[in-house]
Structure 1
Amino acid sequence: MTTIDQNSRRRRPVGLIALDETAASEGYTLYAPLTGTGEVYLIDLHGRTVHRWNLPYRPGRHARLLGDGTLAYNGVLPGERALFPMWHKYRGGVMLRAAPDGTVLREHRDPLQHHDAHHLDDGRVLYTALEPLTGAEAAEVRGGVPGSEAEGDTVWADTIKEVGPDGELLWSWRASEHLDRAAYPLHEAYAREHWPLINSVTPLRDGNILASLRSVSAVVIISRETGEILWRSRPGAVSQQHAPTELEDGRLLVFDNGVFRPGHDVPYSRVIEIDRTSGEIAWEYHDPAREFFFAPFMGSAQRLPNGNTLVTDSPSGRLFEVTEDGYLCWEYVVPHFAGYGEQEVRGLFPSEPNAVFRAYRYAATRKTVETGAAIIARTCWAESGSSLRRRSAGAPPGWQTRALGRGARR
């Protein structure tokens, strides 16, 4: 008798699903399975693994390649207690750099770090963390499900920190100090344990800070000088969004999850460009059958050199690329399934997911790729801006680089 796998995602095809090489943006895609034990994969357009890192912590939550060829990786600090039921799902605590062979070169720890840590080439790290609000401060937070605070009637509020290579605190920001409670209330369906739930933090070219506030459905720009809010997305423009990034023309590319989207009874996710001057949506991608693409949590989008967009449908472990006119030209489903280690998370997510928080594409101009293990072992990977080049030891660069995200809109 044949036993049928009861994991719906695992029953479906995995690996490379679709590829149109005439339309896809050349390069290599980096991802870290969320329920892995510390594996990070770099794959080519055909879904073949060309490099793999093995790190000592499970992801908390993603990895990026940096300009010196090292890997920036955010891991989960072992042995920490759950501050509230969802804490083990998205906490981190370890921010490290690793060599191509996986050797840890530098590490910074903060047990209250969660979601995002943006590593800069000069060794600084900008990241999100928590601080407890109790008593009157907790009561001032608006919205959410009444009585759903964390232990001790605590509301955990977000902070943003920047540390130097030696761990010295260089800059910090507190939501409790700079956010108007009335202007940034929690959605009525959310627990009051965490406010406003910053899931992304990125420095802008002008030095200010771009942040995504999920539980209040807002993208904001924070003044690095004063800490004040310089800009926010229009109400209703985004719904529980993730991963805003700045494009070359100043617009913001946002993964808009679409949970509780006003005026829509069928939820769907989309990727949008927001014009910062007008606040209007200047470009949008959603699946032709909108309900077929819906990520209730997590997700990201990255603009590629040829104007295409790489999308991470995180809960489904689905990575895909679309052109400006919405043509899907590459699709890959992560084949790595496993359960979360913490019992608190297993209770909330009992299946064995293949989830990925974010994926990144690194561009190269040369089409021929050597994937033999011996070749890879003698190779270092380096990023220049946001592009990838391959350099063999003792040899001149074999690939030219192109800046990522600079291509003109077609």
Structure 2
Amino acid sequence: MEQSTLIRRGLGLRGVDPHKVSPGYTLLAHLTSPGTVKLIDNHGQEVHRWDLPYRPGRHAQILRNGNLAYNGVHPDAPRLFPLWQKYRGGVMMEVDPQGKTVSEHRDPLAHHDQHHLDNGELLYTTVEGLEYHKGGAVLGGIPNSEAPDGKVYADCIKHVSPSGELLWSWKAIEHLDPKKFALQPHYPREHWPLINSVYPLKDGNILASLRSVSAVIIISRETGEVIWHLDSTVVAQQHCASELEDGSILIFDNGTFRHHESATYSRVIQVSREDKSIVWEYKDPHPMTFFTPFMGGAQRLPGGNTLVTEAAFGRIFEVTQNGALVWEYINPDFADYSGLDAKEIEGYFPYPANALFRAYKYTPEQIPWLHPN
């Protein structure tokens, strides 16, 4: 009998409502692949793939010019602490449809998120090792759980030119109040506050999701100060904060250690910038059947549907504005971390997994090279 619960429940396309699903193609990068990115259609069929030279440092996106933006794992990055191997990146590539590298920026301390801007610039997350007295100012977390070198690694955000010149940077240790942004008690002190998404807002400011303190913030581009803060009374270990057309914020809310609730479930919420109220929410009708303890994505599609990535289980699905499920796909590829130069985490994740960090969907018009006629 098949021993994997995920495989037993079924893989690939699980269902589609052809009348309500958004037209287009879904892009996914299997995290424990050597570097495979796939584009699939609404029938779950692979229509294009890239086989890249580095395992995924999280996710891939298609740029306005039709090329692929890919964050690969840097081959020579320092090995800061075991879980660093899971979420680090560092090779930020732009690749054409044939797989040829158009441009590349490397930062061995980069992790989680990167944005290729339309002008060739990059906005991304990275870390710095704090001096011991500064690391001691970081509050919370599991006592004595700093990195093996005794340090706390704190997040930075960098904005660089196409040639790699630093245009703007921000350091958590300089701008976050340690009392207001203390690590939650279940987190090691090796990494604070663990920024898992960074997003350029239309007004020029920066939206960031801080997982280990359960916060979504807006950073003033001008001063570096936090000018908007959605705290742990609303979000719990969240990911993938993005800005919608009306200025509201879409968030994948994982739900681990959520305030005032013992049952664990994930949801997607749309939050008003003005009063922080939840103006739209999706959770499964049987809430506890939709959950990923880490990673996860939410993308509002042009017609109003939302694409959701239930990341740890390789599940991607699409829902309408009233919460009806109209498409579901389970990544059929499984592999563990062996052979991927990630010895530190082979024991943490010793099983074959189909996990994805985040998937994105694109209209046929956004990928003109796919069907040139």
Class of the TM-score when normalised by the shorter of the 2 chains: over 0.9
2:162 is matched by which residue type in structure 1? P
- The corresponding residue for 2:343 is 343
TM-superposition CA deviations, 1:162-213 (whole Å, max 9, x none): 1111111111000000001111000011110000000000100111101000
- The corresponding residue for 1:70 is 67
CA distance in 1, matches of 2:2, 2:86: 25
Give 1:323's match in structure 2, choosing from 320, 325, 328: 320
- The corresponding residue for 1:356 is 356
Contact 2:292 2:311 in 1 (8 A): yes
1:59 is matched by which residue type in structure 2? P
- The corresponding residue for 2:111 is 114
CA distance in 1, matches of 2:191, 2:268: 25
CA distance in 1, matches of 2:325, 2:66: 30
The number of residue pairs the alignment matches comes to: 370
Contact 2:128 2:156 in 1 (8 A): yes
Moved over 6 A (4+): none
| 1:139 lines up with 2:117 in the alignment | no
Give 2:163's match in structure 1, choosing from 166, 181, 204: 166
CA distance in 2, matches of 1:152, 1:391: 48
- The corresponding residue for 2:57 is 60
Query: Superposition pairs for residues 232-247 of structure 1, below 5 Å?
Result: 232-247=229-244
1:331 is matched by which residue type in structure 2? E
CA distance in 2, matches of 1:54, 1:291: 35
Give TM-score scaled by structure 1 length.
0.88
- The corresponding residue for 2:298 is 301
CA distance in 1, matches of 2:28, 2:243: 21
CA separation of 1:392/1:335 partners in 2, compared to 1, >3 Å: closer, same or farther?
closer
2:347 is matched by which residue type in structure 1? G
CA separation of 1:276/1:187 partners in 2, compared to 1, >3 Å: closer, same or farther?
same
In structure 2, stretches of 5+ residues that fail to align are: none
Quote the offset at 1:223 in angstroms.
0.8
TM-superposition CA deviations, 1:344-378 (whole Å, max 9, x none): 111111111101111111013xxxxxxxxxxxxxx
- The corresponding residue for 1:405 is none
Quote the offset at 1:9 in angstroms.
1.8
- The corresponding residue for 1:379 is none
CA separation of 1:141/1:124 partners in 2, compared to 1, >3 Å: closer, same or farther?
same
Quote the offset at 1:392 in angstroms.
7.6
- The corresponding residue for 1:198 is 195
3-state SS of 1:272 partner: strand
Quote the offset at 1:152 in angstroms.
3.0
CA distance in 2, matches of 1:228, 1:79: 33
Quote the offset at 1:81 in angstroms.
4.0
Identity of aligned residues (%): 57
- The corresponding residue for 1:388 is 366
Give 2:175's match in structure 1, choosing from 174, 178, 188: 178
CA distance in 2, matches of 1:391, 1:313: 29
CA separation of 1:343/1:11 partners in 2, compared to 1, >3 Å: closer, same or farther?
farther
Give 2:210's match in structure 1, choosing from 191, 213, 222: 213
CA distance in 2, matches of 1:19, 1:133: 49
- The corresponding residue for 1:225 is 222
3-state SS of 1:142 partner: coil
TM-superposition CA deviations, 1:25-61 (whole Å, max 9, x none): 1111111111111111111100111111111111001
CA distance in 2, matches of 1:256, 1:361: 20
- The corresponding residue for 1:8 is 5
Contact 1:210 1:222 in 2 (8 A): yes
3-state SS of 2:53 partner: coil
Give 1:41's match in structure 2, choosing from 29, 35, 38: 38
| 1:82 lines up with 2:79 in the alignment | yes
2:227 is matched by which residue type in structure 1? L
CA distance in 2, matches of 1:79, 1:312: 30
3-state SS of 1:107 partner: strand
- The corresponding residue for 1:188 is 185
- The corresponding residue for 1:127 is 124
1:165 is matched by which residue type in structure 2? P
1:349 is matched by which residue type in structure 2? F
3-state SS of 2:7 partner: helix
Give TM-score scaled by structure 2 length.
0.97
3-state SS of 1:339 partner: coil
3-state SS of 1:390 partner: coil
Quote the offset at 1:7 in angstroms.
2.7
- The corresponding residue for 1:32 is 29
Contact 2:66 2:369 in 1 (8 A): no
Give 2:257's match in structure 1, choosing from 257, 260, 267: 260
TM-superposition CA deviations, 1:217-267 (whole Å, max 9, x none): 000011111111111114411000000110111110000000000111110
CA distance in 2, matches of 1:206, 1:256: 24
1:264 is matched by which residue type in structure 2? E
CA separation of 1:189/1:44 partners in 2, compared to 1, >3 Å: closer, same or farther?
same
Contact 1:267 1:291 in 2 (8 A): yes
Quote the offset at 1:391 in angstroms.
4.3
2:248 is matched by which residue type in structure 1? R
CA separation of 1:234/1:88 partners in 2, compared to 1, >3 Å: closer, same or farther?
closer
Structure (1 or 2) with the larger CA radius of gyration:
1
CA distance in 1, matches of 2:68, 2:367: 14
3-state SS of 2:158 partner: strand
CA distance in 2, matches of 1:300, 1:289: 20
